[in-house]
Chains A and B, each alone.
Chain A
Amino acid sequence: MSTKLGFAPLPTMTADEALSEAHRCLMCWDAPCTRACPTSIDVPGFIKRIAHDDLVGSARTILDANILGASCARVCPTEVLCAGACVLNELHERPIDIGRLQAFATDDVVFGDLGLFRSVESTGRSVGIVGAGPAGLACGAELARMGHDVVMYDANEKPGGLNTYGVANYKMDQQTAIREVSFVESLGVEIRSGTAVGADVSLDDLFKNHDAVFLGVGLGAVPALGLDGEDLNGVEDALEFIAALRSASVDLTGQHVAVIGGGNTAIDSVTQAALLGADRVYLVYRRGRDEMKAYPHDIERALTNGVDFIHWSAPKRIEGDGSVSALVCDRTEYGSDGKLQTTEGSEYAIPVSMVLRATGQEKRRSFLEQIDGVAVDASGRVTVDDQFRTGNDRIWAGGDCVNGGKEVVNAVAHGKAAAIDIDRVLQSSPRGK
């Protein structure tokens, strides 16, 4: 692994650091941080337990609300969630470092062997979960804690979904993600990795073997842009680039990298490329800074790592002889009709040796459409009600396949809410499938 500065996630807080930070918390009434958390973690509650030297209580407060509290502590965009809502911002003080306090509080429980959550008596009901990413793990963990048998199916070699394959290394390393999955397994969840539903296990068997099914299938690859030269060596799906880095680092010294897109995957890719030593890193985006979906704090991190942002540019073709040598773009602008258009005669080339696509993931429409009663909307997202029920009364869904791609913490919230509803339905329905 690379040991480049800034490549590793921030170290865990020391006890002294956590204590002094915990004491800064004002313990707000109806705390804005808790309100800003999609999983409604009682933030002042867990922070005060740190301050009062009750780490087990602190971890339980977090994990009862969000079983993936350890990874959320690392990958959540706290700047726009809990810490962004911290009232200390209004006092012109540094907000509480909630993410790192949460990691401090949960690490011993999640990565240790405290046995904080004991298994309960089995209900004899079984739930199949498709996809062992954050939504599925959260759903499965809750159901297992309620006594249901849970089997999770995941097509990838390793479980954990985007936590394992899609998170930038500088936020959380893969080992941490895998260890958290092991914690979920310790709650009584069975995970079958390398097992694709629809291929290795038939849909019929899935529904035959389980009383209920939760779909946490996430999204697919970043589709090709349809540009000339897209098949040249050095053109890649940005997510695959990030996934490859999870198990083996690469040295990008001497490389000129262009990442196409303006969202979170694009910003993670450029920062990652810069940290891996690329000589030049460009973020190429059709529109302006204000229209980027990436978070301001992530944009700032990319900028401080030396990334060049090229706005108002639409990729037109990729040039090269076997390998990429240039990304050719047109300038863009808003036309009088308010629509984005390319500017005639504005073509220019950016000399690069790598091009990464970060222009949005495909929906798993073809898989989902095979399942009776599961409807997808026009943009390919699974349609669910408030309880995350699909049109099939035995199937629930949550996470990126429902919201089109948001944060881990949103997926956890879906999975947990679905689990609560699944439990309610199973408890109130007669046995027999």
Chain B
Amino acid sequence: MADLSVNMCGIDSPNPFWLASAPPTNTGDQIARAFDAGWGGAVWKTLGEPIENVYSRYSSIDVNGQKIVGLNNIELITDRSLEMNLIEIEEVKRRYPDHAVVVSLMVESNADAWDEIIKQVEQAGADGIELNFGCPHGMSERGMGAAVGQVPDYTCDITGWAKASATVPVLVKLTPNITDIRMAARAAKNGGADGVSLINTINSITGVDLDNFVPRPVVGDKSSHGGYCGPAVKPIALNMVASIAADPFTEGLPISGIGGIATWQDVAEYILLGSTTIQVCTAVMHYGYRIVEDMAEGLSNYLDSKGMASVNELRGLSVAKVTDWQDLDINYVVKADIDQDKCIHCGLCYVACQDGAHQAIGAERSEDDKTNVWIIEDACVGCNLCSLVCPVQGCITMEEREFGQTHMTWNEYTSDASPGDLYPRPKHGVTIGGD
């Protein structure tokens, strides 16, 4: 049984599983129940100036019957009084001294306001604070949230104010609604941040009510863009986490990874790409706190299978495996291989390759009237598409081909001192509507 405990920029946590600042961390009662379920930490739903929310706050997209592949929300920060929240923070810390309680904060952009609220939450016993520079709706229109996160200078300045006031570690939560996330992370680091949390939600409209033409979520006769999260955003978040982890300007800056995490595999991927803790919201909104049981057991089993005694051994192992395209080996060759014994003759690989890729799969009806498919090796560019659409596990695999070809990057290939020849590529587009 691997050790799952971590230390996130000075904050000890019994495991890397934190709840993100969001509806699941709205009250002390919720967080206590989450800790009982197995969560190691929680980022308290953002405290700040009093606000009021609208009714009708969430909308989602479903894909082929899978509910909430993506979730959108227009809820603001907490609508409960600061006083009540502080009492509950104190109570939660009293009952769960070993768990990580980080409090998310968002106030107007002046140093005194930040100083005042930071002192209050520290007084209540917070283990750390997270600066909400990411909220993309409502608060940003009032000059807070993403309005700060989208301007690196503001991020740096306000992080500096917070650090000047705080005695506990300060995390900066970054908005993805920005061209290059590394600039925001560098600004946070320059401001003295102890770590960064990312991603916050992505600006989104999930869809339109086709009866009354109002986008969802429908608030009377209007809607507003919201913040998008859930499984659909994971790839975007992973890329942002990886780019910060690999950025020499922010090297070693602890990362709390957020975005579409629902399973232990998701957790492992975030950690491999440089995260120390991870934060979850949507999956809990969908299934409840209990999902952490699978995460903990799955991650532990995985670490055991890799012979790792601690989750810390996993951290960052994939960071160096992300590189620029021009540094990839263009002579690495894979070809698709179909296990005919497993094929169920659905023909999906054929039509995908024929219409959507490189016309490298043949198909014909067999004598017993099934769709038989085969790889046309010479035409196959090894793009993976057929293996992605195949509904049968392990039926289409990508097999490496060794021809004694030279390892060669694009940069090497185009340099004067090219180390070898380009392995021949399949050619396409010879005939139009051909036979």
Closest Cβ of chain B to A341, distance in Å, is 36
Choose from A23, A32, A35, A88 the contact partner of B64 (Cβ within 8 Å). Answer: A23
Interchain CB contact under 8 A, A30 and B64: no
Task: Give the distance in Å from the alpha carbon of A91 to the alpha carbon of B395 in the complex.
Answer: 11
Closest Cβ of chain A to B281, distance in Å, is 26
In the complex, what residues of A have CB within 8 A of residue B348's CB? 26-29
In the complex, what residues of A have CB within 8 A of residue B350's CB? 29
Choose from B65, B346, B363, B369 the contact partner of A26 (Cβ within 8 Å). Answer: B346
Q: Mark A6-46, 1 if CB is under 8 A from B, else 0.
A: 00000000000001100110111111100100000000000
**With known contacts A27-B348, A29-B351, A30-B347, A91–B369 Cβ distance under 8 A:** no
Closest Cβ of chain A to B366, distance in Å, is 11
Chain B residue at minimal CB-CB distance from A21? B65
In the complex, what residues of A have CB within 8 A of residue B391's CB? 26, 91
> B87 an interface residue at 8 Å Cβ cutoff?
no
> A386 an interface residue at 8 Å Cβ cutoff?
no
> A51 an interface residue at 8 Å Cβ cutoff?
yes
Choose from A24, A27, A87 the contact partner of B345 (Cβ within 8 Å). Answer: A87
Task: Give the distance in Å from the alpha carbon of A29 to the alpha carbon of B348 in the complex.
Answer: 6
Closest Cβ of chain A to B387, distance in Å, is 15
Interchain CB contact under 8 A, B363 and A30: yes
Choose from B64, B347, B369, B392 the contact partner of A28 (Cβ within 8 Å). Answer: B347
> A228 an interface residue at 8 Å Cβ cutoff?
no
Q: Which of B390-408 contact A (CB under 8 A)?
A: 391-392
> B425 an interface residue at 8 Å Cβ cutoff?
no
Task: Give the distance in Å from the alpha carbon of A317 to the alpha carbon of B345 in the complex.
Answer: 52
Task: Give the distance in Å from the alpha carbon of A401 to the alpha carbon of B363 in the complex.
Answer: 38
> B95 an interface residue at 8 Å Cβ cutoff?
no
> A200 an interface residue at 8 Å Cβ cutoff?
no
Q: Mark B247-264, 1 if CB is under 8 A from A, else 0.
A: 000000000000000000
In the complex, what residues of A have CB within 8 A of residue B363's CB? 29-30
In the complex, what residues of B have CB within 8 A of residue A344's CB? none
Q: Which of B45-89 contact A (CB under 8 A)?
A: 64-65
Q: Mark B346-364, 1 if CB is under 8 A from A, else 0.
A: 1110110000000000010
Task: Give the distance in Å from the alpha carbon of A396 to the alpha carbon of B371 in the complex.
Answer: 35
**With known contacts A28-B346, A29-B351, A87-B345, A35–B65 Cβ distance under 8 A:** no
Interchain CB contact under 8 A, B344 and A20: no
Task: Give the distance in Å from the alpha carbon of A28 to the alpha carbon of B369 in the complex.
Answer: 14
Task: Give the distance in Å from the alpha carbon of A90 to the alpha carbon of B370 in the complex.
Answer: 11
In the complex, what residues of B have CB within 8 A of residue A30's CB? 347, 363, 365, 371
Chain A residue at minimal CB-CB distance from B343? A90
Chain B residue at minimal CB-CB distance from A23? B65
Task: Give the distance in Å from the alpha carbon of A23 to the alpha carbon of B347 in the complex.
Answer: 18
Interchain CB contact under 8 A, B344 and A91: yes
Q: Which of B64, B346, B371 has the most CB of A within 10 A?
A: B346
Task: Give the distance in Å from the alpha carbon of A20 to the alpha carbon of B346 in the complex.
Answer: 20
Chain B residue at minimal CB-CB distance from A85? B369
Task: Give the distance in Å from the alpha carbon of A28 to the alpha carbon of B346 in the complex.
Answer: 5
Interchain CB contact under 8 A, A90 and B65: no
Task: Give the distance in Å from the alpha carbon of A30 to the alpha carbon of B184 in the complex.
Answer: 51
Closest Cβ of chain B to A22, distance in Å, is 8
Task: Give the distance in Å from the alpha carbon of A432 to the alpha carbon of B65 in the complex.
Answer: 58
Interchain CB contact under 8 A, A32 and B371: yes
Q: Mark A385-420, 1 if CB is under 8 A from B, else 0.
A: 000000000000000000000000000000000000
Interface residues on A, range: 10 to 19
Number of interface residues of B (CB under 8 A): 16
Closest Cβ of chain A to B358, distance in Å, is 16
Closest Cβ of chain A to B35, distance in Å, is 35
In the complex, what residues of B have CB within 8 A of residue A88's CB? 344
Interchain CB contact under 8 A, B64 and A29: no
Interchain CB contact under 8 A, A90 and B369: no
Closest Cβ of chain B to A123, distance in Å, is 37
Chain A residue at minimal CB-CB distance from B393? A91
Closest Cβ of chain B to A202, distance in Å, is 46
Interchain CB contact under 8 A, B369 and A35: yes
Task: Give the distance in Å from the alpha carbon of A24 to the alpha carbon of B65 in the complex.
Answer: 9
Interchain CB contact under 8 A, B370 and A32: yes
Task: Give the distance in Å from the alpha carbon of A10 to the alpha carbon of B122 in the complex.
Answer: 65
Task: Give the distance in Å from the alpha carbon of A17 to the alpha carbon of B348 in the complex.
Answer: 25
Q: Which of A86-143 contact B (CB under 8 A)?
A: 87-88, 90-91
Task: Give the distance in Å from the alpha carbon of A51 to the alpha carbon of B64 in the complex.
Answer: 8
Q: Mark B100-137, 1 if CB is under 8 A from A, else 0.
A: 00000000000000000000000000000000000000
Task: Give the distance in Å from the alpha carbon of A30 to the alpha carbon of B371 in the complex.
Answer: 8
In the complex, what residues of B have CB within 8 A of residue A90's CB? 344-345
**With known contacts A23-B64, A29-B363, A91–B371 Cβ distance under 8 A:** no
Choose from B65, B346, B365 the contact partner of A87 (Cβ within 8 Å). Answer: B346
Task: Give the distance in Å from the alpha carbon of A30 to the alpha carbon of B347 in the complex.
Answer: 7
In the complex, what residues of B have CB within 8 A of residue A27's CB? 348
Task: Give the distance in Å from the alpha carbon of A69 to the alpha carbon of B164 in the complex.
Answer: 75
In the complex, what residues of A have CB within 8 A of residue B346's CB? 26, 28-29, 87
In the complex, what residues of B have CB within 8 A of residue A24's CB? 65
Closest Cβ of chain A to B370, distance in Å, is 7
In the complex, what residues of A have CB within 8 A of residue B64's CB? 23, 51
Chain A residue at minimal CB-CB distance from B65? A23
In the complex, what residues of B have CB within 8 A of residue A26's CB? 346, 348, 391
Interchain CB contact under 8 A, B65 and A29: no
Task: Give the distance in Å from the alpha carbon of A87 to the alpha carbon of B395 in the complex.
Answer: 14
Closest Cβ of chain A to B393, distance in Å, is 10
Closest Cβ of chain B to A250, distance in Å, is 43
Task: Give the distance in Å from the alpha carbon of A149 to the alpha carbon of B350 in the complex.
Answer: 45
Task: Give the distance in Å from the alpha carbon of A35 to the alpha carbon of B346 in the complex.
Answer: 12
Chain A residue at minimal CB-CB distance from B395? A91
Closest Cβ of chain B to A298, distance in Å, is 23
Closest Cβ of chain B to A86, distance in Å, is 10
Task: Give the distance in Å from the alpha carbon of A29 to the alpha carbon of B345 in the complex.
Answer: 9
Chain A residue at minimal CB-CB distance from B66? A23
In the complex, what residues of B have CB within 8 A of residue A19's CB? 65
Q: Which of B228-276 contact A (CB under 8 A)?
A: none
In the complex, what residues of B have CB within 8 A of residue A23's CB? 64-65
Choose from A29, A32, A51 the contact partner of B369 (Cβ within 8 Å). Answer: A32
Chain A residue at minimal CB-CB distance from B351? A29
Chain B residue at minimal CB-CB distance from A36? B369
Choose from A29, A35, A51, A87 the contact partner of B344 (Cβ within 8 Å). Answer: A87
Q: A20-B65, A32-B369, A91-B391 are in contact. List 19 more A-B contacts (CB 8 A).
A: A24-B65, A26-B346, A28-B345, A28-B346, A28-B347, A28-B348, A29-B346, A29-B348, A29-B351, A29-B371, A30-B363, A30-B371, A32-B345, A32-B371, A35-B365, A35-B369, A85-B369, A88-B344, A91-B392
Q: What 5 pairs between A and B have smallest CB-CB spacing?
A: A29-B347, A23-B65, A90-B344, A29-B351, A28-B346
**Can you spell out 21 A-B residue pairs with CB atoms less than 8 angstroms apart?**
A20-B65, A23-B64, A23-B65, A26-B346, A26-B391, A27-B348, A28-B345, A28-B346, A29-B346, A30-B347, A30-B363, A30-B365, A30-B371, A35-B365, A35-B369, A51-B65, A87-B344, A87-B346, A88-B344, A90-B344, A91-B392
